[in-house]
Amino acid sequence: MKLKLAHIILILVAALALGFAGGYTGVQMAASNQDEPNETESPVEDEENAEVEISNESPQHMSKVVQAFNIIQENYLEEVEDQQLIEGAIQGMLATLEDPYSTYMDVEMMKEFDEQIESSFEGIGAEVSMVNGNVTIVAPIKDSPAETAGLRPNDQILEVDGESLEGLDLNEAVAKIRGEKGSEVIITIMRPGASEAFDIPIIRDTIPVDTVYSEMKTVDGKETGIIEITNFSENTSAEFAEQLQQLEDDGMEGLVIDVRGNPGGLLNSVEEILGLFVPKDIPYVQIEDRDGNKSPYHSNLDKKKDYPINVIVNEGSASASEILAVAMKEAGYDVIGTTSFGKGTVQQAVPLGDGSTVKLTFFKWLSPEGNWIHEEGVEPTVETEQPDYFYTNPVQLDDGETLGYDQSDNKIENIQKMLDGLGYNLERTDGYFDKSTEDAVSKFQQENDLTDTGEVDQETASMIEYQVVETIREGKDDLQLEKALEVLY
């Protein structure tokens, strides 16, 4: 089988951006008229769907499967549709691989996935993967309902509208959260570091389709461009090239590329962007097949840019984002932030003839130097955490419950860290509700038209959390970006 590299889609995760309608972890053929940027033979043909040679011979012991099918069909207490059993058998075979990225997509899911690739979808605006059996947020999409509601990378989704996701595969979990624009879904989250799960209500909406944002800042007298990529979709590389050119025309002297919270996307999109920065003397990625054969891919670039560049990543940077980050790192550029998600396999979608698809892991992708970052992530050259309040958890209180003076609780610690991040003066943030905490709560209540009690009730806790989310979304106290700008020159 030959597949054309420029037409692979690296979608890391099931797409909550579709309202959990579909999307999938892996690779599929994408129709494109773009030219291949390098001459190296790649494992992908220029076709809309990959053609895989499949033997027509029945595997040994297949009669056992047929026998089980007939036993169920003829004897089960209730009537069972053939299609239900067939799809269940396919899902069962894939489940035995214990590979969260190899899955079955039925006709409906494929239709909705195609909508995502076209960047026309509705939902909550986040992306998920199955991690250790748990449906886990990889990243919320910029300016989406999920981001507004405060979902974060590594949040585990336990329940949807009060129904547990335990025992469901990723596609079944996706179906639970599916819904129309304007409808509400309540997601129960367990967040790393939290002592208990909490509910987050989200109103589904149209998901922003813009994937590239840029601005110019003056840093130590130097004009510095910042380009944020939120996803690698069909138009991302063209948008990136256009905005990069504009920054260069405006006298840019250094560049920061921000792929934090970017869950991946089209491989040809990230390779076209890397073609602007990684010279042809080193590959920007290598693909390894099941036999260990490696195929390197090179750009046509003669030399690097004449200005400094670095990249920012975090735990929500995955798949295509990691291809960019590690390629830039091994080309000699700094990577700032925290270790990325860690997804280093390549999947191919194989059509089954009726509109459904088996998506199967075919390859590894390796860094320019041949390193495999799967389940490890890309480690930054300059590790930088965000402020403590970026990692706080929502506080949920029972009816009539309050937090007040002389109490000690993890919830109080969260409140203290959030108030400290919002600029209120506290003498301690260890979970003990002291006098300074009471004063800070009282001041916050006065400034936000809440009843001034000096105690935290659910209304006060929710308002504190809302202001923290807004502060983070506005880019205040962004220590990772500050560090990237600091070390750029």
What CA–CA distances, in Å, run from 222 to 253, 308, 485, 486, 489? 6, 11, 10, 12, 9
For 388-473, CATH gives 1.10.101.10
Query: Who's near 281: CB < 8 A, 6+ residues apart?
Result: 298
Question: How high is the pLDDT of residue 10?
Answer: 45
- For residue 388, give both structure tokens: 């403590």
**DSSP notation for 291-320:** T--EEEE-----S--SS-EEEEE-TT--TH
Can you name the residues that pair with 334 across neighbouring β-strands?
Answer: 310
> Which of these is catalytic: 156, 233, 319, 386?
319
Burial class (CB in 10 A: 0-12, 13-18, 19+), 74: exposed
Query: Who's near 63: CB < 8 A, 6+ residues apart?
Result: none
Report which of 281, 480, 313, 261 is spatially closest to residue 387, judged by C-alpha positions: 480
Task: Examine the residue annotation and report whether 317 is marked as an active-site residue of this protein.
Answer: no
Determine the length of the chain: 489
Question: How high is the pLDDT of residue 454?
Answer: 98
**Phi, psi values for residue 243, rounded to 5°:** -75, -35
Question: Would you say 469 and 393 are in contact if contact means Cβ atoms under 8 Å apart?
Answer: no
Question: How high is the pLDDT of residue 123?
Answer: 81
- What's the CA gap between 9 and 129, in Å, rounded? 16
Question: How high is the pLDDT of residue 51?
Answer: 58
Boundaries of every domain in the chain: 388-473
- What's the CA gap between 205 and 183, in Å, rounded? 8
> Which of these is catalytic: 142, 176, 329, 343?
343
pTM of the entire predicted model: 0.80
Which amino acid is residue 79, in one-letter code? E
**Phi, psi values for residue 226, rounded to 5°:** -125, 120
Strand 309-313 relative to strand 334-337: parallel, antiparallel, unpaired?
parallel
Task: Examine the residue annotation and report whether 348 is marked as an active-site residue of this protein.
Answer: no
Residues of the chain with pLDDT under 50: 1-49, 119-120
Residue 466: how many CA atoms within 13 Å on its side-chain side?
9
- What's the CA gap between 478 and 120, in Å, rounded? 31
Tell which phi-psi region holds residue 145, choosing left (phi > 0), alpha (psi between -120 and 50) or beta.
Answer: alpha
What CA–CA distances, in Å, run from 78 to 89, 176, 210? 18, 24, 49
**Phi, psi values for residue 346, rounded to 5°:** -120, 130
**Phi, psi values for residue 321, rounded to 5°:** -60, -35
Task: Examine the residue annotation and report whether 64 is marked as an active-site residue of this protein.
Answer: no
* CA-based max dimension of the chain: 79
Report which of 245, 317, 240 is spatially closest to residue 274, judged by C-alpha positions: 240
Can you name the residues that pair with 185 across neighbouring β-strands?
Answer: 202
Report which of 294, 316, 19 is spatially closest to residue 178, judged by C-alpha positions: 19
Question: How high is the pLDDT of residue 301?
Answer: 97
> Which of these is catalytic: 347, 356, 367, 386?
347
Q: Where are the alpha helices (DSSP H) in 8-163?
A: 62-75, 82-95, 107-117, 145-149
Question: How high is the pLDDT of residue 185?
Answer: 95
Can you name the residues that pair with 297 across neighbouring β-strands?
Answer: 285
Question: How high is the pLDDT of residue 50?
Answer: 53
Helix H or strand E segment including 357: strand 357-366
Helix H or strand E segment including 487: helix 479-488
Report which of 442, 439, 433 is spatially closest to residue 415, judged by C-alpha positions: 433
